[in-house]
A and B are shown apart, each in its own frame.
Chain A
Amino acid sequence: MKNSLDVINPGTHTLIQDAGRYGKHQLGLTTGGPMDARSHSLANLLCHNPISASALEVTLGNLEIEFHADTWVAVTGADNQININGLPQALWQTLPIRFGDRLVLGFPHRGCRNYLAVAGGLIVEEVFGSTATVVREGIGGLDGRTLQQGDQLLLGNRPEGLKPFSIAASDRPTLPEQAELRLLQTCQTEQFTAGVREQFFTNTYSLGTRMDRMGYFLEGTPLDSPPDGIVSEGTCLGAVQITPDGLPIILMRDRPTIGGYSKIGTVLSCDLDVLVQMTAGQRVRFVPTSLTEAQSLLATRRRELRRYTQAAS
């Protein structure tokens, strides 16, 4: 019998995600992939998987699964409680699993997305080179849909001699009530007058009812006289579009790859990891950043992942 897990309760919105589907924009496909990429990577590293392995993205918790394998799991992301066979366990560390164990993930206290990785990864057929689920496209994961009760997922072989470890408390996300999102000003920033840009960086926006894997529609005081739209062009992760009514949309993992709204800049991907854990009513501000700072943050992130990759080896 092959190693597998059974979905007893699929939770509110649970998706299979690898690192994302890249190189397929030519076909009009978006990338998908984990909203909180850092937590996804760390969950995989705790299980000695490559960071691109297929894992579960559990939004708003309430997942219950039963394992048909002796293996290891790790749960990262939102502040939440998990138990295995009724016993509370810790997030952010490698946990042993015995054949028949039941794992329950609750509703998050703070934050909203958890990542559950299994040693050896989830074995899912790739579609256009990736297992990332994009519900909007009906592509990836299990027929492009969220998990359902009764689903059975195959598990990879657990590596020999796996050494369990944990992520240092200082390396876990802070899940703030308010966040500053660092914005890289890009080629279209110039289309916004200095006055409008100042207004944009002064405003505080709140997360509203429209925030999903495609984009986060922010609420707040509209900008005066936003620029007209542009000739439709490619969009990237974290791009901040300003709609004709003067409010920002931050483009996320399942974004349309072509867009006709002017973009005031791009939010750094490391700050998106913070944003995607925030919930309706919480507030954000934008602060300008530089390419130098962005590259240095990227290098820090790389060093951190390398450190935990070594911890796993």
Chain B
Amino acid sequence: MVYFPGEGVLDWIVAADVHIRERLGKILQDTIPSYRSLLVIYHADKIGHTQMLAELRQCLEGVPQGESVLGKLVKLPVYYSAEVGIDLQRIADHTGLDVEQIVELHQGREYRVHALGFAPGFAYLGKLESALHTPRLESPRKTLAAGSVAIADDQTAVYPSVSPGGWNLLGNCPLPMLTAERMPLLRVGDRVRFYSIGRAEFRRMQKQYA
């Protein structure tokens, strides 16, 4: 596990991930970039631990730091409503904000994809305005609708498919998070903006992408 100290390290992590994959290709099993870290999983039958650490250290020194990797910008429509955002009231109770303020704050920022995981195409987006921070549910729900837009602590995300989940729902995004080839729409490093749509537009888009 490689930890990256300080704030605003996402571009550094993405650059390190690309660099390590290029340099160590064959001895790597996989890598997992996340908020502050990069998990490097190597083939223990191809290289010893000590040697691997040395290779990794050397590799990390060569990472171009400070170079911006800025991913693509993706704009996601959201139908913010208690009809699909069943935790809007819970979020309001916790934050002391009204629903209108919650929606304003949620769509008022550009987010970055910090990690992909949990389910195919599930992108962890950060960071949420601190006034919106709301803890996860005590126990996760068994099923959530595909497209559910949710928040937990300082993160937000869109559930790509029907799945269990413990985050607070505030709306639904009708745009599919996976392509027909099941490739994720979002990748680590990408930028995301949410924008509000009404019920009629939401239903129309839902039909369009069904």
Contacts from A to B (Cβ < 8 Å):
22-29, 31, 127-128, 136-139, 186-187, 231-236, 256-258, 291, 295, 298, 302
Contact = CB atoms under 8 A, between A and B. Distances in A.
Interface string B116-145: 111111111000000000000000000000
A137 B119 CA distance: 7
A128 B120 CA distance: 12
B85 interface: no
17 contacts: A22-B29, A25-B30, A25-B32, A26-B32, A26-B116, A27-B183, A28-B120, A232-B124, A233-B1, A234-B33, A234-B34, A234-B115, A257-B32, A257-B118, A291-B49, A295-B44, A298-B45
B71 interface: no
B44 A298 contact: yes
A138 B161 CA distance: 10
B128 to A, nearest CB: 14
Nearest to A137: B120
A295 B49 contact: yes
Nearest to A256: B118
Contacts of A291: 49
Contacts of A127: 182
B39 A234 contact: yes
Contacts of B33: 26, 234
B5 interface: no
Contacts of B29: 22-23
Contact of B120 (A139, A234, A258): A139
Nearest to A31: B30
A26 B38 CA distance: 11
A233 B49 contact: no
Contacts of A128: 182
A26 B124 contact: no
Contacts of B3: 187
Nearest to B25: A23
Given A26-B188, A233-B37, A256-B117, 8 more contacts: A28-B116, A186-B1, A232-B34, A232-B117, A233-B115, A234-B1, A234-B38, A258-B117
Interface of B: 1, 3, 28-39, 41, 44-45, 48-49, 115-124, 155, 161, 182-184, 187-188
Contacts of B37: 231, 233-234
A232 B124 CA distance: 9
Nearest to A136: B119
B107 to A, nearest CB: 23
Contacts of B45: 298, 302
Contacts of B30: 22-26, 31
A233 B1 CA distance: 9
Given A28-B119, A28-B120, A29-B120, A258 B34 contact: yes
Nearest to B40: A234
B37 to A, nearest CB: 4
Contacts of A234: 1, 31-34, 37-39, 115, 117
A218 B34 CA distance: 27
Given A291-B49, A295-B44, A298-B45, A258 B184 contact: no
A165 B121 CA distance: 45
A26 B187 contact: yes
A139 B117 contact: no
